[in-house]
Amino acid sequence: MSKKNDKLKIVTANRLREGDVVYLTDTGKWSTHLNQSRATRDAAELEAMLALAEEAVAAREIVAPYDMEVVEVDGILQPLSAREIIRAAGPTVRADYRGNEQQRDRAA
């Protein structure tokens, strides 16, 4: 019998090539959309998901996988920690600082 957690968890990491925040999906692929992630309360299933993530690390697809807590509200997964809310929302750099390298060089 597998052990159940009260908390709903998913597996996240960063894509090695671009550094994008990604989430493990039901198909074993990685998505940039949190709501496409595979969520579980089962400790054994979470361990299997983390093992899949380690295979993706070995294949040089992702780096630094770990599990994180989420809550499901009206069918939509939402992160619980401030860190994960920021990671899910994307870069926190002001839009006027996101220009290309030439724009940054001209500004300097």
Residue in this structure with the two tokens 């500004």, named with its chain if needed = 107
pLDDT above 90: residue 104: no
Residues 16 and 62: beta-carbon distance below 8 Å: yes
pLDDT above 50: residue 79: yes
pLDDT above 80: residue 83: yes
Q: Which residues of 13-35 are buried (b: 16+ CB within 10 A; e: fewer)?
A: bbebeeeebbbbeeeeebbeebe
Biggest CA-to-CA distance, the chain: 63
Residues 30 and 22: beta-carbon distance below 8 Å: yes
Q: What is the pLDDT of residues 23-58, one digit of tens each?
A: 999 999 999 999 999 999 999 999 999 999 999 999
